[in-house]
Structure 1
């Protein structure tokens, strides 16, 4: 129980953000809770061969897939409302508005990609998992992760360039 509590403190924000991106919904608190309940019930199945974050994201992914199937919502719908841009510098409404639009454009472009491309971009670029962790979550070989990420980024770049000239591509994904 103490282990799960520690993981919750360390990784709940990561799981929350992953689920928001994966489901396209902002109200994923119940899913986050469900992930940690499943982790608590299945803690004996955690062998330590991957990081706790990787294991939890695998659970989160499966939980999200199950939830989407339950709701029969088989499309990925990005959101833009309610996005908080955290900036330690002076808050400038114009900059915040521009960053929200860039973020919304990026999400719209990601949502138009094939599912494997979306998955690998979300895990590698948004959740910042390494190649091995991404392979473990998706059940792929490392080579497939690298190849799919390369193709996904090319497809994303193409999608963004058709919408806005690709101006924000590099800065958006980091």
Structure 2
């Protein structure tokens, strides 16, 4: 366990230095509506924010492939419906889905996060990731940050995944951490 934490801490500076692309980079979906990572307005946007669209950005996919030691087998096909932006990362031996729910404000995001947490069964809190985070028994990680709720669903991945092999729970936390780093980088 201690070795995993040490390895994760060593990996984080590498992820920060690589960069996450920018709003000017082509996204795999329609161009985002706003140039900032600020919380979305109270009206229902017809496109995801720049920060949200990063999860399906080709540059983010490349960074994730480097971090996980394996790349996707299919192009990303993002969707934007009912304020949820998502895409599935298909791999030779499974898949994971990244999604972000954009909410009108931080209070609504907190209520959404608490509702998801309450219906998730036994969870493990994750300290230092977003404003609040937990992982479910299947390894899926959920993170609340500002008016966003990020879900990294790894239930369709094998128990160990990537090169070097990691537990799917570690893959979810690493992926969520990469998103948080990108959001921080984007808002700077």
Pairwise TM-score range, normalised by the shorter structure = under 0.3
Q: TM-score, normalised by structure 2?
A: 0.25
**When you count helix as a share of all residues, which structure comes out higher?**
1
| Structure ranking higher in strand proportion | 2
Q: State the TM-score, normalizing by the size of structure 1.
A: 0.26
